[in-house]
Structure 1
Amino acid sequence: MNGLNGVGLSDDEASRLLEQYGPNEIPQAEGRNWLRLALEIVREPMFLLLVACGLIYLFLGNTEEATLLLSFVILTMAISFYQQRKTDKAIESLRVLSAPHATVIRNGEHRRIPSQEVVPGDTLVVREGDRVCADAILERALHLTVDESLLTGESVPVMKSSSLDVGRDAVGAESLVYSGTLIVGGEGTAQVIATGTKSQFGKIGSSLGHIMGEPTLLEQETKQMVRLLASVGLLLCGISAATYSFFHHNFVEGLLAGITLAMALIPEELPVVFTLFLTLGSWRMSRYRVLTRRAPAIETLGSATVLCTDKTGTLTENRMTVAEVVTGNGVTNLSKGEQIQGDAASVLEYASLACSVDPYDPMERAIIAMAESHQVNTAQRKDWKLIKVSPLTKQLLAVTNIWKCDQSSYIAATKGAPEAVAHLCRLNQQTVAEVTREVNRLAESGIRVLAVARSRFPAAAGMDLVANNGRQPDLCSPVLPSMSTPQPRLLDVSKYSFAWLGLIGFRDPVRSSVPQAVEQFQSAGVRIVMITGDYPITAQSIAREAGLRNTVQVMTGEALDKLTDLQLSRSVKAVDIFARIVPDQKLRIVNALKRNGEIVAMTGDGINDAPALKASHIGIAMGLRGTDVAREAASLVLLDDDFAAIVAAIKLGRRIYDNLNKAFVYVLAIHIPIIGLSMLPIVLQLPPILLPAHVVFMELIIDPACSVAFEAEPAESDVMRRPPRDVKQHIFRTSTLIFAGLQGLTALVAALFVYFVTMSVGLDERVVRGVTFATLISSNVALILVNRSWSLTALGSIRRKNSAVWYIIFSAFAFLPVIIYTPLLQHLFLFTSIPVRLLVLTIIFGFTSMLWIDAVKLRRRFS
């Protein structure tokens, strides 16, 4: 058992075992291959209509038309393949980022590795909030409790203890931890015995940790629109075919006219646009080191009105250093290079005894590092035996470690909130006032403060602390302590007599990027609410340094507990700083903000933050210091714990919604002239203007324009100077439909104007069809340009980088003369050669007809 020596596997051993047993993962459902994707595409209504047209042309003996439509089918499928491959690659990149990680011991070092690389024989280090990634036998355990409901259905956490002798057959055995279960308390080490499909979890065949896909309001709205228009299209297809056949006595041409109208009506691009935008949006967020775990987060980001954030590690660098030590004999300022001695050394000595054996908390690491660098005696951490740990609770904001220092006595070392430790030490009012003055002095400089105390009592008074049969846990090993029996209930340390030692001040500088990020949030109408466990004055100091506007009012956890939910809802309207808050109070704050109609984003990292993260509209977990359960409860994960990345995420979320809106307006607008030109011959009993081939050619421009070009558009210049969007606002709201409708009607009027003018002067039917189609193409290009930006004109948007737009425009104008002047294509499209001057004039007319939209933009800008 390699774990027993505290060294774990070597790199060579791990590589060999990984090759032997394979990755620690459950095989995923097979992704869509090319054939399956092709079948999905062909089942779409648009492609079924194309196939129907092709069969009709074959029935009529028009093999050239049938070949043309088949070519268009292949081209459109190629575009769909490209879009889907781009989406799949983005999803795969996100899947790699979202893969869970585990901490193992290899070569005697703690390493954070992807859980897929964990192998049998590895030594896992598990702590509160971790999701266990493999079946393992516990070697050491301290107050370890596990939620095994995923396997057993039992919601009560199970107490675990160390044993290497128990078999692994029974789920719930007290010496085993299972893949997929959650550590809800304590810590321990365990040797892996089964991975992947060999684990209990793998046998069940479930999986965790993947990006969750769930229908959003926007997605539902899009599907409803497509279904509605598809139904109308199919209905009109039948009516049009019957009407045309009745008046023209030609059923086949009537059927083709009906199919053309149905193809024009179905906006099959909308679902493609939606899926592609959200998927690529998630991928773009990952480039800012923000992982999207739930699709609705992207939709909701632009609506966030409040961001609740903790202080340490989010607003600050989480780089704790001991700045000052305060005792009854004075202040030792370590920031100025003063040496620790006398009473100050005792403060650090007992503070180190109050730390975890294998410290993870930055403050505990700072205490031990400072003590060791100043040669403070820390040998007791290895020489003494840790008997009991009394963790921080809502009732007592302090941690106490009880050590057996010799056969006759115990030592209790405590560190925590000054007011809590002062209460334990039963300080008189004068001393409490002196302590409060020192705490306030430190807090005003943004220094976080902990108090330290100690207690010594005889062995007889601590007999109830010793495990059964006199066995005591050894927490002095290089790895973690071992407990062979379940832990007793939490200890009431207030019964011991504690002596006050002093205060330790920690400095954790505000991240350099935070003030600018806070200013951007506030300019965007997003209110910042800081929630911290720190002293109120420290919280105010950090808030001022970070740039929060309202730093006058502070609400403490104690004051919060005295308020009813209704009173709290009123209070949170005016308070942006909450101090001395414990995790379960965060949920009350989030719910109070939600009751006020706020759209709440919430950051968190601990297991107790999970309820608040889940209750918020947008839960944001820390990727580096966050627990697995916090990451699973969150919608977004900050992979680098960088607060400024949230600004980038909100900006990107607003950009994605803006671009979706632009794409939808364009799609709806361009379908109007197509529908009008398809219906006109039926209503006025004229020869067909548009055939299925013409509609498909338009689709070859529309598809990449709305899915690639608009998706790549940069954010509007005012995107972070607007108030948050109303979350209930529909993308297909009345104003959007009117705007799209006016654009589409303009394009239709322009095409009809050209159609009737050329008809009136007696031009050939095929020339009329050609110039009308050219007008429609140029109007389409103009629609792309004018919808690129809500503020810039078509000319102004030229300077915006987006190469996809120019590829599409170039392709459209390059292929237009090809199909008009190539004899074979003339025959297929029912065109004939058009005088170049006339063609240029119609293109210019079609393009300039849409410039009224730019006039509206200019008028809005100057007004």
Structure 2
Amino acid sequence: MDKNQEQPVEAWHTLALNDVVGKLETDIADGLSEEAASQRLKEYGPNELPSKKKESKIIRFLKYFHDILIYVLLVAAAITAFLGHYTDTIVIAIVAVVNACIGYFQESKALEALESIKGMLSLKAKVIRSSSTVETDARDVTLGDVVVLDPGDKVPADLRLVKANNLKIEESPLTGESESAEKGLDTLAEDTPLGDRANMAFTGTTVSSGRGRGIVVGIGGNTELGKINRMMSEVEDLTTPLLRQTAKFGKTIAVFTILVAAATFAFGFFLRDYDPDELLMSVIGLAVAAIPEGLPAILSIILAIGVQNMAKRNAIIRNLPSVETLGSVSVICSDKTGTLTRNEMTVQRAVVRDATYTISGIGYSPEGEICRDEKPVDVNQSEPVLKQLLQCFYLCNDASVSKNENGEWSVKGAPTEGALITAYQKASLPDDNIERKATIPFDSEYKYMATLVEQDDSHVILIKGAPDRLLAMAEKEKRDDGEKEFDSKFWEEKISELASNGQRVIGAAYKKVDKSVSDIDHSDIEQGVVFLGLAGIIDPPRDEAVKAIRSCKEAGITVKMITGDHADTAKSIGKEMGIGDGSKVIQGKDLQVIEDDELKKAVTEYDVFARTSPEHKLRLVEALQANNIICAMTGDGVNDAPALKKADVGIAMGIKGTDVTKDASEMVLADDNFRTIADAVEEGRRIYDNLKKTILFTLPTNGAESLLIIASVLFGTMMPLTPIQILWVNMVTSVTVSLALAFEAIEKNAMKRPPRDPDEPLLTGYFIWRILFVSVLIGGGTLYLSVYLEGAGVSEEEVRTITLQTIVISQVFHLLNCRSIRGNAFSDDFFSNKVIFVVAALLFVLQFSITYVPFMNNVFGTAQLEVEQWRYPYYLGIAVFFVVEIEKAIMRAIDRRRK
């Protein structure tokens, strides 16, 4: 947009239609000519949101070298090149490049997944060009175009309406209001809030009913949606707990490595008679040994596997570290409609003067029973008043319900009206093909809809609408024994009863008129109205969401519901789902005036937030984070985007979410289902546990190698491993057995324990002890073996080959210890992770190759071993396994005593 002419900026809702037409030089009837539209497209650019400049592939690839551990490796490569050890240089460089490639390709997969979602949202628009209605791509809509709006259409740009026939637009993506906004043409005051601008239609919203036309007054970045997109840049990106921890961990390892290497070089140079070049290569070996250069690759692979697992469970992750962040979430803030509930309105109660009926079944499928006193009834034979009530709801209705090609039932039109049609179909009433002769459309001023039909050789006006409006009109009520005097108090109590249960209440009434009447208006129903009854409608909770909330509670995660619904509805739904206590709720009007310090307390005290706007979500996120709480926030509307970006994990709706919301999020729900969030949290905990196990497995290798080299320098013995052999050990264990831990199943108690502290370091006190313990166990045992073999006259190449095999095989046995940090290796699920046995077999093939393939003997300086020489690595490996299992058993006993 920067290269195009600036769009005119006006308070379009304040202007008369003639002024709008004049300023934009268009015509309401004929629209723009094709030539004028083409010229304006060149002037103002396409109708699309400005997108951030994408990083080049080269820059994205090079970013994976921006790690302090990789820097140390590259310095080591430069020194080996300077010393003429080019093979070592090449191998070190290959290790660094492989790490970068793994991270780059995993990120690319995530980006491709998001782009595939965007591709599903292609948008068309109907515009009037040169007096003809044509369909065009939304990006080709331009200023001054006249857009035609029909039910189900997405508004392609910001419009000033010029026609509005019972037009209602669902604006929740922009305003957060769950009810469709009714539209008109009257000019409005300049300070009219966005949600009340009835003469405007905004891009990204959807026509729910009626028809209209509008002149395009804003496209692309100049729309209301575009303005919010620009606001996104003001919200700072957060670093995930895992990235903070690994960055700190990497710096600690790097500093420690440099200090130890410098001290070792100084000791060897001044106190031992080493050749400087040989000593420098030994110190480089120490640096390479101490640095877990395979860890970044392992981390990327573990996270990538998590991403793939989540995608199978309908959660699309946009950046890898967010996978793990989900495991530390302690509060999930969720929308109600469509996420916790089905977003399918359902009639659950029907009330007439002499009975209350329950209606089973959910959604728009006509499957369910109608019961009175818990017994099914035949509406057509034994319930005449209920039959008349349901017929009124069915005939006085503009929606339609049908089964789509996937076999799913859906509504076209208002969801509430769809629910009333489904209730009628559940009654299995005969289709009498009753013709509607005239209709008064729903009007917000009158709050009802009326239809004139012919029934039983007479004309009847059927009325459906807000109960309070119908109660004010009614003079009589229909009972089983005929029309009687209207009992206003009875019906007011019934309305309150339904509303207190979180149900939306719709009333029905009728009036008989002369058969000569063929048209009706509001004056025809000012008197003589007979009240029929009420319907209680609810958006039912998802069964799987209720179970997921229960699982979250067991895992120490608090679920908070944020909805635009009324407080009573929110409390009722919340209690039914296990959120809140059914009595405490805080409303948006209270959030508007509450101070930040008070909000910090309120956000921990309340779990249900009603009548909220998306703007309130950002304050709630900030209040939670001020309490040092890791939180996830869901959203679908454009106004939700800043809150999603601010949250530790922003979760966008894949079905009803906007592009802006998805771009601001870390995770996209393909099914808009809360159950998927709980599944993702579970996967996040599994990933973090497996990451910790991998560290617990990997670092003893580095520790053992470092111990070998330091001890060799201190005692003035032969270097047991060369730098290139150390790299081989580190990488071969990384790409084989280390990777196997990524496939470990979730720990049995993972969703029974509270979320971990985000400030908890990667290496706890116990982890440091265990790593040192196993490092000394493997390193000390290998050093003793190396000295023993050297004293027995074994050649230098054979000693190094046996040393290399000893460390690798000991790690294979130690892998079995690491499948559970504290648990018994011989548990019931010993064979559950088949990958371990596959990669162990692959590792043995690689180790056989480095020992017996002549080319690899030359490159890595290894020798071919006799069969009996293999016993040494296995003796030590078995010893390591049993000693660590004994240590774990002791720790379990200590844990039990502490409890």
TM-score of Structure 1 vs Structure 2, range by shorter chain:
0.5 to 0.7
- Distance in 2 (CA, whole Å) between partners of 1:771 and 1:248 is 26
1:254 to 261, 279, 284: 279
Aligned residue number for residue 404 of structure 2: none
1:225 to 249, 262, 278: 249
1:248 aligned counterpart, secondary structure:
coil
Matches within 5 A, 1:122-201: none
Aligned residue number for residue 45 of structure 1: 71
Structure 1 residues 814 and 840, CA gap change in structure 2 (3 angstroms): farther
1:434 to 468, 487, 490: 490
1:727 aligned counterpart, secondary structure:
coil
- Distance in 2 (CA, whole Å) between partners of 1:699 and 1:22 is 53
Aligned residue number for residue 472 of structure 1: none
- Distance in 2 (CA, whole Å) between partners of 1:713 and 1:367 is 50
Structure 1 residues 273 and 765, CA gap change in structure 2 (3 angstroms): closer
Aligned residue number for residue 364 of structure 2: none
CA contact (8 A) 1:347 1:503 kept: no
1:519 is aligned to 2:544: no
Aligned residue number for residue 191 of structure 2: none
Matches within 5 A, 1:596-635: 599-606=630-637, 617-626=648-657, 631=662, 634-635=665-666
Structure 1 residues 47 and 768, CA gap change in structure 2 (3 angstroms): same
1:695 is aligned to 2:705: no
Aligned residue number for residue 264 of structure 1: 289
Matches within 5 A, 1:38-437: 44-45=70-71, 48-49=74-75, 51-52=77-78, 55-56=81-82, 58=84, 66-67=86-87, 70=90, 73-74=93-94, 77=97, 81-82=101-102, 84-97=104-117, 101=121, 104=124, 120=140, 215-234=239-258, 237=261, 240-241=264-265, 244-245=268-269, 247-248=272-273, 250-293=275-318, 297-326=322-351, 336=370, 338=379, 362-367=415-420, 400=447, 434-435=490-491, 437=493
1:415 Cα deviation after fit: 5.5
CA contact (8 A) 2:292 2:730 kept: no
Amino acid paired to 2:503 = R
Aligned residue number for residue 15 of structure 1: none
- Distance in 2 (CA, whole Å) between partners of 1:292 and 1:833 is 47
Q: Deviations over 1:419-451 (max 9, x none)?
A: 8998999xxxx977534542465468x672324
- Distance in 1 (CA, whole Å) between partners of 2:651 and 2:298 is 26
Structure 1 residues 221 and 306, CA gap change in structure 2 (3 angstroms): closer
1:504 aligned counterpart, secondary structure:
strand
Q: Deviations over 1:455-482 (max 9, x none)?
A: 9xxxxxxxxxxxxxxxxxxxxxxxxxxx
Structure 1 residues 620 and 709, CA gap change in structure 2 (3 angstroms): same
Aligned residue number for residue 784 of structure 2: 753
Structure 1 residues 106 and 731, CA gap change in structure 2 (3 angstroms): farther
1:505 aligned counterpart, secondary structure:
strand
Q: Deviations over 1:529-588 (max 9, x none)?
A: 455566777667655664x28656454749978996778877776765667777777777
1:92 Cα deviation after fit: 1.8
Q: Deviations over 1:488-542 (max 9, x none)?
A: xxxxxxxxxx999863212544434234323322322223445556677766765
- Distance in 1 (CA, whole Å) between partners of 2:791 and 2:353 is 104
1:655 aligned counterpart, secondary structure:
helix
Structure 1 residues 256 and 603, CA gap change in structure 2 (3 angstroms): closer
- Distance in 1 (CA, whole Å) between partners of 2:488 and 2:666 is 44
- Distance in 1 (CA, whole Å) between partners of 2:356 and 2:433 is 19
1:224 Cα deviation after fit: 3.2
Aligned residue number for residue 10 of structure 1: none
Q: Deviations over 1:799-840 (max 9, x none)?
A: 13352x445433433333443455665555455454432322
**Unpaired segments of 5 or more residues in structure 2?**
1-25, 32-45, 129-135, 175-182, 188-197, 360-368, 371-377, 381-385, 400-410, 426-430, 453-460, 475-485, 511-528
**Unpaired segments of 5 or more residues in structure 1?**
7-20, 59-64, 109-115, 150-158, 164-173, 391-398, 406-410, 456-497
TM-score where L is the length of structure 1: 0.68
Q: Deviations over 1:301-348 (max 9, x none)?
A: 223334344544333322223344546687677753647676776677
1:88 Cα deviation after fit: 2.3
Aligned residue number for residue 450 of structure 1: 505
1:710 aligned counterpart, secondary structure:
helix
Aligned residue number for residue 719 of structure 1: 750
1:53 Cα deviation after fit: 6.0
Structure 1 residues 726 and 40, CA gap change in structure 2 (3 angstroms): closer
CA contact (8 A) 1:310 1:530 kept: yes
For the aligned residue pairs, the C-alpha RMSD in angstroms reads 6.1
Amino acid paired to 1:219 = L
1:256 aligned counterpart, secondary structure:
helix
- Distance in 1 (CA, whole Å) between partners of 2:718 and 2:854 is 21
Structure 1 residues 858 and 254, CA gap change in structure 2 (3 angstroms): closer
Matches within 5 A, 1:673-688: 673-688=704-719
Aligned residue number for residue 534 of structure 2: 503
CA contact (8 A) 2:561 2:579 kept: no
Structure 1 residues 698 and 415, CA gap change in structure 2 (3 angstroms): farther
- Distance in 2 (CA, whole Å) between partners of 1:268 and 1:435 is 74
Structure 1 residues 524 and 424, CA gap change in structure 2 (3 angstroms): farther
CA contact (8 A) 1:144 1:160 kept: no
Structure 1 residues 674 and 348, CA gap change in structure 2 (3 angstroms): same
1:717 Cα deviation after fit: 2.2
CA contact (8 A) 2:509 2:532 kept: yes
1:662 is aligned to 2:693: yes
- Distance in 1 (CA, whole Å) between partners of 2:137 and 2:871 is 63
1:779 to 810, 814, 819: 810
Q: Which moved more, 1:819-828 or 1:519-528?
A: 819-828
Structure 1 residues 750 and 435, CA gap change in structure 2 (3 angstroms): farther
CA contact (8 A) 1:131 1:629 kept: no
Structure 1 residues 649 and 815, CA gap change in structure 2 (3 angstroms): closer
CA contact (8 A) 1:524 1:722 kept: yes
- Distance in 2 (CA, whole Å) between partners of 1:237 and 1:679 is 9
Structure 1 residues 509 and 306, CA gap change in structure 2 (3 angstroms): same
- Distance in 2 (CA, whole Å) between partners of 1:421 and 1:654 is 54
1:715 aligned counterpart, secondary structure:
coil
CA contact (8 A) 1:46 1:268 kept: no
Q: Percent identity at matched positions?
A: 25
Amino acid paired to 2:416 = M
1:621 Cα deviation after fit: 3.7
- Distance in 1 (CA, whole Å) between partners of 2:867 and 2:267 is 37
Structure 1 residues 651 and 4, CA gap change in structure 2 (3 angstroms): farther
- Distance in 2 (CA, whole Å) between partners of 1:198 and 1:553 is 43
Q: Deviations over 1:217-273 (max 9, x none)?
A: 321332233234334544555555565455436232122122212222333334444
Amino acid paired to 1:651 = E
1:728 Cα deviation after fit: 2.6
Aligned residue number for residue 812 of structure 1: 843
Amino acid paired to 2:505 = L
Aligned residue number for residue 877 of structure 2: 846
- Distance in 1 (CA, whole Å) between partners of 2:770 and 2:150 is 56
Q: Deviations over 1:759-788 (max 9, x none)?
A: 454544444333322221222223333223
2:140 aligned counterpart, secondary structure:
coil
- Distance in 2 (CA, whole Å) between partners of 1:53 and 1:601 is 47
Q: Deviations over 1:266-299 (max 9, x none)?
A: 3333444444444553343222112335666434
